[in-house]
Amino acid sequence: MSETVLLVGGGGREHAIARALAPDCDLYACASNRNPGIAALAEGFETISETAAEDIVAYAESVDATLAIVGPESGLAAGVADALDEAGIYTFGPQAAEARIETDKAFQRQFMRDEEIPGNPDFATFDDMEAACDYIDDYDGDLAVKPAGLTGGKGVKVIGDQVTPEEAKAYLRDSDYERVVLEERLVGEEFTIQAFVADGEFRVSPAVQDHKRAYEGDEGPNTGGMGSYTDVTPSLPFMADGDYEAAVEVIEAVVEALPEYKGILYGQFMLTTEGPKVIEFNARFGDPEAMNTLPVLETPFIDVLTAAREGESLPDLDFAEAATVCKYAVPEGYPTDPEAGAEITVEVDEDADALLFYASVDDREDGLYTTTSRSFAVVGVADSIAEAEELAEDALADAGEGFHIRHDIGTAALVQRRIDHMAELRGE
């Protein structure tokens, strides 16, 4: 019997999910924006807010959905998985209580402390901003300032990197945050590992390195992610033997401590001289990381979902031995002052052997329009990072007007900088 799957979300991450699922099921989708890439793969597409749980359940029931998957964190925080599960539609995504590992950073850190999860940095939480400012004054070292709630990857300020202590205190005093977490600044190289989790089991995917800064050379404000890359092995070029496995052990400890968790558990790590430390956990696929890992997943994704629903052992995941490079095209001015509502024509060379993923665009009757977030991404898949980067760059050569792209992602020079940075930190 063919499965009918409802996909919630309309970004690049969800386009990658749709592409992985569509060949093996009847796919339906809903989101607040009409993503043309998802709409082309789906049997039906409804414009529904990702947080409108009742409306999503009604649509799922109208198409006789047998499975669902929630892409964005906003839907998980709003209890969409809870509502779908309660309606008898198994949802591959954590319920709101388990999703707190992403949606509440204060809970996340205290959970790690209570459960003795390895890789937890020194931290303190505050609901009094003046007390937080005093902590900054008294702390011996640099700190990362994090709002406890969701900020789309753009709310963190790092003392000693992005801001001075005085600027950090001004940021806190000018904010309307109810709670903040102050953490020791972790120094090293970031990477992420995404795990498929159900019934106390998990399967991991290759490590990915995202690039948060808006401009080339890792300059500018933080974004939701300007692009990312993977290597032909599960590890990355700047990682030493055992680093990937050490991060997987952290994920294993979280899964053991959260036996009801189901869906994707995304661990964002900082590789330090002491090994991997946890920057944060997310309760869903990363964006752009989903676009690196799902295109090289050779195991049918639908088999993961059905095994999870049936309480069966999750299938072993086979990934192609290929490197990937993802590069985002974003509206001019993103992320601080993006030009939204502009009609665009996405021009990507389809002969460049790169995959196109639509993200935060809106496909209206009279054309395709930008939103305030990232517009589309291309992913090169090849036998090396260098070849994958070339494919992505060739595909973007005629991207069109009005976009900003970080062309340095995946280049040999930037990858070598990561290797040299870790070698320097290790004293090699």
Task: Using the predicted structure, report yes or no on whether residue 4 has a pLDDT greater than 70.
Answer: yes
CATH number of the domain at 3-95, please?
A: 3.40.50.20
Task: Using the predicted structure, report yes or no on whether residue 210 has a pLDDT greater than 90.
Answer: yes
How far is it, in rounded angstroms, from Cα 314 to Cα 308? 7
Beta strands in 103-217 (DSSP E): 123-126, 143-147, 157-158, 180-184, 189-198, 201-204, 209-210, 213-215
Task: Using the predicted structure, report yes or no on whether residue 355 has a pLDDT greater than 90.
Answer: yes
Q: Using alpha carbons, list the distances in angstroms from residue 329 to 9, 68, 107, 367.
A: 19, 29, 34, 18
Give the Cα-Cα-Cα angle 400, 404, 408 (nearest 5 degrees).
Answer: 110
> Start-end ranges of CATH 3.30.1490.20 in the chain?
122-184
> Start-end ranges of CATH 3.40.50.20 in the chain?
3-95
Phi, psi (deg, nearest 5) at residue 64: 60, 45
3-state secondary structure at position 38: helix
**pLDDT for res 202:** 98
- The answer to whether 311 touches 373, Cβ cutoff 8 Å, is no
Closest listed residue to residue 182, CA positions, set 142, 221, 129, 145: 145
Closest listed residue to residue 358, CA positions, set 342, 343, 374: 374
> Start-end ranges of CATH 3.30.470.20 in the chain?
189-417
How far is it, in rounded angstroms, from Cα 382 to Cα 409? 15
Task: Using the predicted structure, report yes or no on whether residue 346 has a pLDDT greater than 90.
Answer: no
Confidence of residue 339 (pLDDT cuts 50, 70, 90): confident
Residue 115 CA from chain centroid, whole number: 24
Phi, psi (deg, nearest 5) at residue 226: -95, -10
Beta strands in 112-199 (DSSP E): 123-126, 143-147, 157-158, 180-184, 189-198
The label of the residue with tokens 């806190």 reads 172
Torsion over CA of 178, 32, 210 and 115, rounded to 10 degrees?
A: 50
Q: Which residues pair with 356 in a beta bridge?
A: 378
pLDDT digits (tens, 9 = 90+) for 114-133: 999 999 999 999 999 999 99
Greatest Cα pair distance, the chain, in angstroms, is 63
Say how many C-beta atoms besides its own lie within 10 A of residue 85's C-beta: 17
Task: Using the predicted structure, report yes or no on whether residue 398 has a pLDDT greater than 80.
Answer: no
Q: What is the pTM of this model?
A: 0.95
Sheet holding 343-344, edge to edge: 343-344, 367-370, 361-364
Task: Using the predicted structure, report yes or no on whether residue 397 has a pLDDT greater than 70.
Answer: yes
Residues in the chain: 428
**pLDDT for res 347:** 75
Question: Which CATH number is correct for 189-417, 3.40.1390.30, 3.40.50.300, 3.40.50.2000, 3.30.470.20?
Answer: 3.30.470.20
3-state helix, strand, coil in the chain (%, to 5): 35, 30, 40
pLDDT digits (tens, 9 = 90+) for 224-274: 999 999 999 999 999 999 999 999 999 999 999 999 999 999 999 999 999
Pairing type for strands 213-215 and 189-198 reads unpaired
How far is it, in rounded angstroms, from Cα 331 to Cα 22? 29
Average pLDDT score over the chain: 95
Specify the CATH architecture of the domain 122-184: 2-Layer Sandwich (3.30)
How far is it, in rounded angstroms, from Cα 65 to Cα 74? 21
pLDDT digits (tens, 9 = 90+) for 144-192: 999 988 776 668 899 998 899 999 999 999 988 999 999 999 999 999 9
Closest listed residue to residue 182, CA positions, set 211, 148, 221: 148
